[in-house]
Amino acid sequence: MKDNLKLENQLCFPLYACSKEIVKKYKSILDKFDLTYTQYIVMMVMWEEKEINVKNLGDRLYLDSGTLTPVLKKLESKNFIKRTRSDLDERNLKLLLTEKGIKLMDKVQNVPNEIGKCINLSKDEALQLYKLLYKILDNKE
Amino acid sequence: MKDNLKLENQLCFPLYACSKEIVKKYKSILDKFDLTYTQYIVMMVMWEEKEINVKNLGDRLYLDSGTLTPVLKKLESKNFIKRTRSDLDERNLKLLLTEKGIKLMDKVQNVPNEIGKCINLSKDEALQLYKLLYKILDNKE
DNA sequence: CAAAATTAAATTGTGTACAATGTAATTATA
DNA sequence: TATAATTACATTGTACACAATTTAATTTTG
């Protein structure tokens, strides 16, 4: 058997496995805030943008409406966001933070720190990794 | 707003996004072999091991029986593997390659190469990334 | 040795992901 | 300006992914 099909020689497998393991870690941390990882990254964009439509949100998160629609409905049912159609263009769904959604930001302040503790990389290594990942991502557009 | 909750300052988000984008790329390449990405990495382990049980397969792939059972049934229905209980310990499900499963290895020889072309990293950068990812993974055990 | 504990898979329920398609609103064009 | 093309979002169908539970087989222990 040639080595090129061995799992240990793949670059993509550790990427896939690592992503899953870290999302799993997030789950254990986010549970107490009644958030999933996907809901959490949606909220991160909301805290930055205050107002955004599904299309632009999807562009930021590399997700499409098929994934986002149910997630956004869930976040609305939890009263973290509000969903209303734009007046200017009724195709656009305007996403807005609620009071509860704004308050959530304070509550999760320590999440990035907690996650950081689970990843045993030095500051320099983390930065290296960050740059390599964005180099791949930027190429895919 | 503090910067610690900005999406662009997270290390985990590009990991998550990158993983998804690459799996998507795999999908387009693996389609012609009637394989999904998950089925493909299961087959990679099978080609290496010839025979393995679900538990050990899951340890290799960071997947549990809840995920693997339906994937393995699918691979069996496509005649790539055979599933039989072990004689020595009936709790163990013995996974074996079929003739068709062995032949599949030749057909996908070029997949790693095709994927490589989608990732614009130098050999050195790819190795760096590989090491950083396994450093995180090894810590999670 | 019999009951308890452990182990391996399977099952169930929830939540993504994404391709493909559908629908309604808006924009471009003949 | 009516129709065609495009756009934004929702829906449908398929395939993971994982926590929690169940079931059956094996091992440990009192």
Chain A CA closest to residue B7: A44
Asked if the model's pLDDT at residue B141 lies above 80, the reply is no
Nucleotides of chain C in contact with protein CB (under 7 A) are: 7-13, 15-20, 24-27
Q: What does the domain layout of chain B look like in residue ranges?
A: 12-108
B97–chain A nearest CA distance, Å: 14
CA dist A92 and A84 (Å) reads: 9
Whether the beta carbon of B24 falls within 7 A of nucleic chain D: the reply is no
Question: What is the per-residue pLDDT across A65-123, written as a single tens digit (0 to 9) for each?
Answer: 999 999 999 999 999 999 999 999 999 999 999 999 999 999 999 999 999 999 999 99
Q: Is B29 helix (H, G, I), strand (E, B) or coil?
A: helix
Residue B90 CA, nucleotide D24 C1', distance (Å): 9
Right CATH for A11-139 from 1.10.275.10, 2.40.50.140, 1.10.10.10, 3.90.79.10: 1.10.10.10
Q: How far is A6 from chain B (nearest CA, A)?
A: 6
Is 3.40.50.1860 the CATH number for B12-108?
Answer: no
Question: How deeply is B56 buried, as exposed, middle or buried, from its count of CB atoms within 10 A (0-12, 13-18, 19+)?
Answer: middle
Averaged confidence pLDDT in chain A: 96
**H or E, element range at A33:** none
Residues 106-125 of A with CB under 7 A from strand D: none
Q: How many Cβ atoms from other residues are within 10 Å of residue A77's Cβ?
A: 9
Chain B residues touching A44 at Cβ < 8 A = 5-7, 10
**CA atoms of A19 and B11, how far apart (whole Å):** 11
The one-letter amino acid at A126 = A
The tens digit of pLDDT for each residue in B92-138 reads: 999 999 999 999 999 999 999 999 999 999 999 999 999 999 999 99
Is the per-residue pLDDT at A141 higher than 90? no
One-letter identity of residue A121: L
Element (H, E) at B136: helix B123-139
Cβ of residue B71 lies below 7 Å from strand D: yes
Interchain pair B121, A136: CB under 8 A: yes
Output the pLDDT for position A1. Answer: 77
Q: Which residue is nearest to nucleotide D25 (CA to C1')?
A: B91
Contact A21 B47 (CB under 8 A): no
Question: Mean pLDDT across the stretch B27-32?
Answer: 96
Rg of chain A (C-alpha set): 18
C-beta of residue A93 within 8 angstroms of C-beta of residue A84: yes
CA distance A67 to chain B (A): 13
